[in-house]
Chain A
Amino acid sequence: MMQEKTDYLKKFLKYELEEIVGADHVVTDQSEIDCQSIDVWWVTRYWFFKGTGLPQPFAIVFPGNREEIVRLVKLCNEHKVPFVPRGGGAGDSGGSLALKGGIIIDLKRMNQVLELNEKSLTVRVQPGIIQKHLEEYLNRRGYTMNHFPASFTTSTLGGFISTNGTGVLSSRYGKISQMVHQLEVVLPNGKVFKSLPVRLHSTGPDYSRLFFGAEGTLGIVTEALCKIYHLPEKRVFRSFVLPNLSEGIEVGRKIMVNQLMPSLMRLYDEADTRHILKNQFDLNQEGCTLLLGFDGLERIVNAQMEVAFDILTEAGGKDIGDELGKTWWANRYKSYYPPNDYICEPWMTAVPDTIAPYEAIERIYWAMKKTVEEGFKQWGARFHAHFSHWYDWGTSLYPTFLIKNVPDDREVALNLFNGLLDTCERASIRNGGVINEHHGIGMRSGRLMREIYGESYDLALTIKRALDPHNIMNPGKLGLGD
Chain B
Amino acid sequence: MGIKEIKETMKMCRFCFMCRHACPTFLATKLDSNTPRGYALLLSAVAEGIREWNDDSVARFYQCSQCGLCREDCEFHWPEDELVRNAREEIVAAGKEPKTVAQIANSIVNKGTPYEQEKKWNFSPQHMGKKNSDVLYFAGCSTRQNHPEIMEAMSTILDRIGTSWSVLENEGCCGMTLFDLGYTEDAKKVAAKLADKISHSGAKILLTGCAHCYRTFREKFAEWGVQLPLDIKIVHTAEYLYENALNGKLQFKTDVTVHSVSYHDPCQLGRKLGVYDPPRKLIEKLTGSSPIELFHNRNKAECCGAGTTMFLTDLEISERVAKLRLDSAREEGAKLIITACQNCKTVFSRVHQNDVEILDIAELVSSRL
Verify if B42 is at the interface (C-beta below 8 Å from A): yes
* B292 in contact (CB, < 8 A): no
Interface residues on A, range: 35 or more
Q: Does A36 contact B (CB under 8 A)?
A: yes
CA distance A62 to B34 in the complex (A): 15
Pairwise interchain contact B15-A38, C-beta atoms closer than 8 A: yes
Question: Judging by beta carbons under 8 Å apart, are B20 and A340 in contact?
Answer: no
A20 to B369, CA, bound (A): 56
Please give, as numbers and ranges, the residues of chain A lying within 8 Å of B51 by CB-CB distance: 30, 34
Check A36–B32 contact: CB distance below 8 A.
yes
A338 to B15 CA separation, bound complex (whole angstroms): 9
Closest to A32 in B: B33
CB neighbours (8 Å) of B295 from chain A are 136, 140
Tell yes or no: B231 within 8 A of A by CB.
Answer: no
B42, A31: Cβ atoms under 8 Å? Answer: yes
- In the complex, the answer to whether B21 meets A153 with C-beta atoms within 8 Å is yes
Q: Is A366 on the interface with B (CB-CB < 8 A)? A: no
In the complex, per-residue mask of A31-43: 1 if CB is within 8 Å of any chain B CB, else 0:
1101110101000
**B11 and A344 within 8 A (CB):** yes
A35 to B50, CA, bound (A): 13
Say whether B56 contacts A45, CB under 8 Å. no
Interface pair B15/A40, CB less than 8 Å apart: yes
Query: What's the nearest-Cβ distance from chain A to residue B98, in Å?
Result: 14
Q: Does B315 contact A (CB under 8 A)?
A: no
B45 at the interface (CB under 8 A from A): yes
**B76 nearest CB neighbor, chain A only:** A337
A142 CB to nearest chain B CB (Å): 14
A194 sits at the interface (CB 8 A) = no
B368 lies within 8 A of chain A by Cβ: no
Assuming the A-B contacts A35-B42, A48-B50, A109-B30, are A29 and B56 also in contact, with contact meaning beta carbons closer than 8 angstroms in the complex? Answer: yes
Determine which of A48, A106, A338 lies in contact with B16 in the assembled complex, contact meaning CB atoms within 8 Å. Answer: A338
Question: Given A153-B21, A154-B20, A339-B12 in contact, is the A51-B50 Cβ separation under 8 Å?
Answer: yes
Residues of B within 8 A of A88 (CB): 17, 20
Report the bound CA distance from A151 to B183 in whole Å: 37
Contact of B20 among A27, A130, A333, A337 (CB under 8 A): A130
User: Which residues of B are found within 8 Å of A49, using beta-carbon distances?
Assistant: 44, 48, 50
CB distance from B63 to the nearest CB of A (A): 11
Given A31-B38, A109-B30, A154-B21: A339 touches B76 (CB 8 Å cut-off): yes
Is A133 an interface residue, CB under 8 A from the partner? yes
Residues of A within 8 A of B44 (CB): 49
Q: Are B75 and A34 in contact (CB under 8 A)?
A: no
Given contacts A38-B41, A130-B20, A136-B295, contact A31 B15 (CB under 8 A): no
In the complex, chain B residues 1-36 whose Cβ is within 8 Å of any chain A Cβ: 11-13, 15-22, 30-33, 35
Please list 12 pairs of residues, one from A and one from B, whose beta carbons are closer than 8 Å in the complex, sorted by A's number: A29-B33, A30-B57, A31-B33, A45-B15, A106-B30, A108-B30, A109-B30, A153-B22, A334-B75, A337-B18, A337-B76, A344-B11
Q: Which residues of B contact A (CB under 8 A)?
A: 11-13, 15-22, 30-33, 35, 37-38, 41-42, 44-45, 48, 50-51, 54, 56-57, 60, 73-76, 78, 295, 331
Having A30-B54, A130-B21, A153-B20, one finds 13 other A-B pairs with CB under 8 Å, namely A30-B57, A31-B33, A31-B54, A35-B31, A35-B32, A130-B20, A153-B22, A154-B19, A337-B16, A338-B16, A338-B78, A344-B11, A344-B15
